[in-house]
Amino acid sequence: MPESEHVHVEVAYAEPSRQFLRALDLPRGSTVADAIVASNVAGECAIDPSALLVGIWSKIVAGDTPVQEGDRVELIRPLKIDPKEARRKRAKLKPGQP
């Protein structure tokens, strides 16, 4: 079976109030940056992708990383609070504890 000239990937971005997921067919050899541009996530979500970390399946990668068949390119927002600190705050508010 001959190798396809295209790769199927997804681009994902999420905020608390909305999610963006776009499936794309890109030419083989395309990069993470190419996928982000082709998805139009910047325009639809009014974000600057260059200010965010990017990853493939939650592993941080550079924009010039080539995408492979089935990759999920993710735009990763910075955390607003350290997860450990958030847990401590929730524990303090738990009813029935001194």
Structure confidence by residue, pLDDT tens digits, 43-60 = 999 999 999 999 999 999
CA end-to-end distance (rounded Å), the chain: 67
CATH number at 6-93? 3.10.20.90
Per-residue pLDDT, 2? 60
pLDDT averaged over every residue in the chain: 90
> Could you give the C-alpha distances from 33 to 2, 15, 38, 97, in angstroms and in order?
26, 20, 9, 49
Q: Is the pLDDT of residue 75 over 70?
A: yes
Per-residue pLDDT, 97? 56
User: What does pTM read for this prediction?
Assistant: 0.77
Domain ranges in the chain are: 6-93
Q: Are 38 and 26 in contact (CB under 8 A)?
A: yes
Per-residue pLDDT, 45? 93
Render the burial of 62-76: b for 16+ CB within 10 Å, e for the rest. Answer: eeebebeeebbbbbe
> Of how many residues is the chain composed?
98
